[in-house]
Structure 1
Amino acid sequence: MDNYERLAQAFVGLVDTLVDDYDVIELAQQLIDSSMVLLPISAAGILIGDVHGDLHVLASSSEETRLLELLQLEAGQGPCLLAYRTAEQVIVDDLDSDQQRWPAFAKRAAEYHYRSVCALPLRLREERVGALNLFRDEPGGLAAVDVAVGQALADVATIGILLQRVLTRAELISQQLQMALNTRVVVEQAKGVLAERGNIDMDQAFALLRSYARRSRQRLADVAHDVVEQGDTTAILSAK
């Protein structure tokens, strides 16, 4: 299989993960696997930001790589963090000659025999979601074409991660809407119970229901649920 076929297969594999209810972890691991196959690297890792902007290790090619990524998070510095914060590529051709920049990271990388690193941001326009770290066991940066391939893979993964976040938000909004609709049904039922027992109209019943909820510092939905389920309306109707 030539390089073109491998590249095409990698992108098809990434796109195949972008289906309904897909797994972001699997998408990230697919990105790692594709990077390892297509690029002249020894290891790879991904850091992802949560909704608060805090970074976490999402995927790695080895336990050593995972630990190196965790070291960056603990130290609060490193090429991957810089790529995430700036949304720019961070390329270090020789970690041995650049030890002062990130001493803890450089020392641990040397222990794992990593000599150079290329950190690529996972970003789409102004949106940043994480960064992809590509490690080599020899000094010298990746060729421009390899950096371009790595960034393209990272961009596809970024789109997938952002899509998942949009779908999650949409699902949450849908759930909240459904909960509101369900609550409204219970409130209407409670109004009916109060109207019948108090011999009042529905507007008065609703006013009494709201007033009691405020006085007792309860949610309207909870008061309505108690009326429907338990049937005790004495305290509410006493204010009539």
Structure 2
Amino acid sequence: MTENHRLRLRALLAADDDHGVGPLTRICALAVVELQVTGVGVTLVSRAGSVDAQQRLVHASDAVAARLEDLQLTVGEGPGLTAITSGAPVLAPDLGAARSRWPAFCPDAQRIGVAAAFAFPLTLGAIALGSLDCYRATTGPLSRDHVACGLLLAEMAFEALLTEVAGHAPDDVGWLSDIHAEVHQATGMVSYQLGVGVQAALLRIRAYAFAHGLAVATVARRIVDRSLLLDDGNGTTP
């Protein structure tokens, strides 16, 4: 069921590709319809969890979604930030009941018309790039199918976001011929170690590099000399 749902969502995104609208814009618009929410925003967080972490709004479906992302950045808390640090969806169907969890965020969010918020981390294993944040103007939970759909849309947003910041699509491996051979070698090593295809291995390397503020070549060198191991969760030092 999940794979069929993924294929359906990708087909819907592809159907809108002729309109010259960027993928993140289309993903947010699709999320509004599929999750039956009022608005959606995508926030990028580089070096999450570190003292020099940086957060910025990448796209918002409407003005309230944009203000919601700005509010989380201002007060330093909220569903999106919690989703990023926990690596799991954060569902708040009634912000009035969540004030003890986010005392600085909830009152102001309610004042701008947000009654419920749902956040999905943009992650690959334990590598987090940001969050897909949805809000409703009325209280009420997401259904199980809506949560599953949100996770799939977050997966697609992760790929789109990485493509935007790295300049290469996840399935584009042609550019490898123009860079250091260590990236080729590292991609092969990660592919073998994790039992995934070359494209998936390269996506993991790119994601780790971006999330940690490193050059792809630097990450590749550390993988090749075995000072860095990309496992199914996060990069570890042997």
TM-score bin (small chain): 0.5 to 0.7
Residue of structure 2 equivalent to 1:147: 147
SS in 1 for 2:57: strand
Give yes or no for the alignment of 1:30 onto 2:29: no
Residue of structure 2 equivalent to 1:235: none
Q: Trace 1:1-240 onto structure 2 (pairs within 5 A).
A: 10-14=9-13, 26-50=22-46, 53-164=53-164, 165=166, 167=168, 174=178
Q: How many residue pairs were aligned? A: 167
Identity of aligned residues (%): 25
Shift of 1:173: 10
How many Å separate the matches in 2 of 1:36 and 1:68? 15
Shift of 1:97: 1.5
Shift of 1:167: 3.2
How many Å separate the matches in 2 of 1:15 and 1:101? 39
Query: Structure 1 unaligned runs (5+)?
Result: 1-5, 178-240
* TM-score normalised according to structure 1 size: 0.59
Alignment-mate amino acid for residue 77 of structure 1? E
Shift of 1:63: 1.3
Confirm or deny: 8 A CA contact 2:13 2:26 kept in the other structure: yes
Shift of 1:26: 1.9
How many Å separate the matches in 1 of 2:134 and 2:145? 14
SS in 1 for 2:108: helix
Which fold has the larger relative contact order, with Cα–Cα distance below 8 Å and residues 6 or more apart in sequence? 2
* TM-score normalised according to structure 2 size: 0.60
How many Å separate the matches in 2 of 1:83 and 1:61? 20
Q: Which is richer in helix?
A: 1
Confirm or deny: 8 A CA contact 2:6 2:152 kept in the other structure: no
Residue of structure 2 equivalent to 1:212: none
SS in 2 for 1:142: coil
Q: CA RMSD in A?
A: 3.4
Confirm or deny: 8 A CA contact 1:115 1:137 kept in the other structure: yes
> Over alpha carbons, which structure has the higher Rg?
1
SS in 2 for 1:103: coil
